[in-house]
Amino acid sequence: MPRYGGLVWVATALVALAAAAGVLAYWVNRSRATANEPVRQAVSVSAEQIRAARDLGCDVVQVMALGKGANITLVLIPTGGFTMGSPASEVGRFEREGPAHAVSVSRAFYLGATEVTQAQWKAVMSTTPWRAQLHPGRADDAAANHISWYDAVDFCRTLTAKLGRKVRLPTEAEWEYACRAGSSGAFCFGDDVQELSQYAWFSGNRPALADRRPQAVALKEPNRWGLYDVHGNVREWCQDWYDESFYQRSPAEGPVGPVSGTEKVERGGWSGDEAEHCRCAMRGYLRPEYGFYASGLRVAVEIEGKAGR
């Protein structure tokens, strides 16, 4: 399979370590606003991602070149099953997160290792929705915000036309599956809220009480599948229409939400949220035309042909 838009370097020593530990670190180029040259960012992936890439005959990490020196790093999300939603005993739970139910993700896909940044947005859209708005990020490597659902879909469509690959928003089920990365706890790392500061920007650790702007991506720890900021920083739009009671009738395989609605799903929490609003199962929602300062996105990329099965 070709590597789109860049090279993935794999160190021999890390390959040996991966065989023993089940985790492999890749070094990839990432554009940064504070420098004119890309810097190398470690992307850690799990043993199951490595096995899936081998079985599917595709890369476990890819880099999409956007132009203007900007890239999006993608990590492979393997097929599998998980329990979507939260148990009644979970601290901070809302009724709309239940009932917890079994869901299978039957097609592998790629997901952005980070939320879309200002630099990436400008490289694709040549616009700055956050300019002159409340709480914009301070630099090009901050997560883009003030993005409406329609804006996010337009970004994906523009990338699809430019690169010839199917770029879209993840479904709500795909998002939670990727966020959990095998975790059955409240967060991608388990249930201990004291650990959240290692993984997320949220109300408990933002630089100042009044500072609700997005921070630079990938400064916190990633989850097991190499995804940064799945908790906090900015909320991430999903494909699905929101329905509070959808889980009561959700199909078990590849649910895509109701066929219509008035709000779209947002996931992940943002830098102004309390910890319980950043949980894996937390379901946010907003009218699709609104570009709120908490709203951003992370892209999914489909794998064509046999590799996507």
Average pLDDT of the segment spanning 74-98: 97
Answer yes or no: is 74 within a domain.
yes
Answer yes or no: is 269 within a domain.
yes
Total count of domains within the chain: 1
Answer yes or no: is 40 within a domain.
no
Answer yes or no: is 83 within a domain.
yes
Answer yes or no: is 20 within a domain.
no
pLDDT at 12: 33
pLDDT at 98: 97
Domain that holds residue 123: 67-308
Average pLDDT of the segment spanning 30-52: 63
**What CATH number does the domain containing 298 carry?**
3.90.1580.10
Answer yes or no: is 24 within a domain.
no
Question: Residue 56 and residue 178: Cα distance in Å, rounded?
Answer: 18
The answer to whether the CB of 141 falls within 8 A of the CB of 117 is yes
pLDDT band for 207, please (50, 70, 90 cuts): confident
Answer yes or no: is 92 within a domain.
yes
Answer yes or no: is 52 within a domain.
no
Q: Is the pLDDT of residue 59 over 50?
A: yes
pLDDT band for 249, please (50, 70, 90 cuts): very high
The CA-atom distances, in angstroms, between 104 and each of 83, 225, 254 are: 9, 17, 6
Structure confidence by residue, pLDDT tens digits, 273-287:
999 999 999 999 999
